[in-house]
Amino acid sequence: MPAIVLAIIGLIVFALGYRYYSKFIAERIYRLDPNYQTPAYQFRDGVDFVPTNKWVLWGHHFTSVAGAAPIVGPAVAVYWGWLPAFLWVVLGTVFAAGVHDFGTLVLSVRNKGQSIGTLAERIIGRRAKLLFLFIILILVLMVNAVFAWVISNLFITFPASVLAVFIQIPLAIWIGYTVNKKGKNMLMPSLVALAVMYAAAVIASTTPALQIDLVSYFGGEEATGLFGLDAVSSAFLIWIAVLMIYVYIASILPVWKLLQPRDYINSHQLVVGLAILYLGLFFTWPTPEVTAPATREVTDVSWFPLLFITIACGAISGFHGLVSSGTSSKQLNKETDARFVGYFGAVGEGTLALVTILAVTTFFASQSDFLSSYESFNTANADGLAHFVGGAGQLATGLGLPAGVAETIVAVIVVSFAATTLDTSVRLMRYIISELGQEYSAPGLTKKHVATSIAVGASALLVLLPGDRGFGSGGYLLWPLFGTSNQLLAGISLLLISIWLRRKGRNFLFTFIPMIFLLFMTMWAMTSQVIFQWSWLGDGDAQILLFVLGAIILAFTVWILLEAIALFRREPPNTDPDND
């Protein structure tokens, strides 16, 4: 099947979802008010609460939630064939992700910009908040550790991408200063910055002297580097140290200095990247063909229900609710902007997940090549990202770009998104630690530098733990928990929105139905993993750390649900819809 056919079908569904479904939700369900004073004005401090143009905020939100996850998940999930992944990405984006991201943003804006963890207390109760914050803390810690590993790995694999990524930082600070202090428009400077970045990527890809290749600096892969480590491990250590220093600084700066302009540049990167890939697809029509099978029978891991936790970002993701209620809600200029920022941000991510499916499934010359490369679920996990970079580079050559240049640009885009997610995640972890400090009367934890030091220190420690993917892959010790805990978080967030809507006497089925579906699938998957994969009852060796943490998260989720069910039974529905 020509990949362009699937691309057109998916894009049409996304367009209809945003044009009609999100409009209905905004006007009839959430009832957005353009005159409502948002937290950005209520608590304006110039650091975290900053009224922001909706296009700039969309850039921040979109790139923070996009990261590398909507690429990795679909690139792995095509292991079961392209059809289940395609359907979940397209339908999940329209009916679950958009409603969830949009809803958590509105819910937070209507409650002083508070995080979804704090809102759990207001809506369900204090115990729910503490349980919720624990799940969130584990989640962002995993994101920090694994994304640091991913970025370090890409820097080593694609050294030509480093220069362009580094150039972006001073350019973003310059743009932030120009816009904030001199009142200039951000569009043109960010486009210039993007052109400079890509020029640096193109030049570096053909000029070895401009490639920051730490492994070569140490004398090659066989050489010995720092502290008796080999050259590759030494390069990892240096990149992880650099990233941790960077995220510490980036996560404490006022949002206008680096976060907003950098994310705005990255949003252009994403648009340009998507345009390159989709145009590459169009100009090479009727090829490339999707060589992967539509569905596939496998014996090691069943697609049902694991597909729905393997593709998290790109369909629906609990991490999106953290960004919506963590940073985006504090910068929303008008309440009516929430539809564009929240729902359209989810559509943007779905678009990225869709082209990932197409890039990976068209990368192989034949179905037998695909099957040999995706011979097991473990193989798919290990090589999925590399297949995307290769497939995306192949699509980009449809526009006449040399393969080396195309791969470098794709690597720059992936690293930029991963870095955006990383420092937003560290900032969110700082917020959570501060909230815990307030909750347990520990004023030291509420201080910015203390909370940030704990967040960065814990992330660095987790990264450096020995892992089965080599030095610096300690984050992967907990990564098997990411999919389920992330999706459980999304389900609980939908539950909070549903209770909030019910109290207002509005139709809550639009969030309640995807909540039921998501929680059913995720708890099924989580229970199977905890009991039959990580415990002593499984076929392999017991994995104590995953078993204990997984069991705790599962128990906490059941506890929250029981509290919510009791709440539903105690509270009669609001029969006066106008009484908010």
What are the backbone dihedrals phi and psi of residue 213, each rounded to the nearest 5 degrees, phi first? -105, 90
Q: Which residues pair with 52 in a beta bridge?
A: 332
**Range ranked top by mean pLDDT from 25-29, 120-124, 169-173, 283-287:** 25-29
pLDDT for 243 beyond 70: yes
**Range ranked top by mean pLDDT from 83-92, 146-155, 160-169, 444-453:** 83-92
pLDDT tens figures, 272-305: 888 888 888 888 766 778 999 999 988 888 888 8
pLDDT tens figures, 184-240: 778 888 888 888 988 888 888 888 888 888 888 888 877 887 888 888 888 988 999
pLDDT for 580 beyond 50: no
Distances (CA, A) of 156 to 151, 152, 237, 384, 419: 9, 6, 11, 17, 15
Distance of alpha carbon 457 from alpha carbon 430, whole angstroms: 12
pLDDT tens figures, 1-12: 888 999 999 999
pLDDT for 182 beyond 80: no
**Range ranked top by mean pLDDT from 1-15, 164-178, 388-402:** 1-15
pLDDT tens figures, 21-47: 999 999 999 999 999 999 999 999 888
Distance of alpha carbon 202 from alpha carbon 196, whole angstroms: 10
pLDDT for 575 beyond 70: no
> Comparing C-alpha atoms, which of 48, 161, 118, 123 is closest to residue 497?
123
Distance of alpha carbon 502 from alpha carbon 499, whole angstroms: 5
Q: Tell which wins on pLDDT, 553 or 399.
A: 553
pLDDT given at position 285: 67
Distance of alpha carbon 193 from alpha carbon 177, whole angstroms: 14
Q: What crossing angle do the helices spanning 509-528 and 303-310 adopt, rounded to 10°?
A: 110
Q: Tell which wins on pLDDT, 492 or 128.
A: 492
pLDDT given at position 34: 94
The answer to whether 237 and 472 are in contact (CB under 8 A) is yes
> Comparing C-alpha atoms, which of 248, 190, 195, 256 is closest to residue 57?
256
Instruction: Provide the whole-model pTM.
Output: 0.85
pLDDT given at position 155: 86
The tokens describing 471, both together, are: 């030095």
Ramachandran region, residue 293 (left: φ > 0; alpha: ψ -120 to 50; beta: rest): beta
What are the backbone dihedrals phi and psi of residue 115, each rounded to the nearest 5 degrees, phi first? -70, 165
Distance of alpha carbon 21 from alpha carbon 15, whole angstroms: 10
Decide: helix, strand or coil at residue 289.
strand
The answer to whether 496 and 136 are in contact (CB under 8 A) is no
**Average pLDDT of the chain to the nearest whole number:** 87
59 falls in which pLDDT band (50, 70, 90)? confident
pLDDT given at position 140: 85
pLDDT for 319 beyond 90: no
Decide: helix, strand or coil at residue 230.
strand
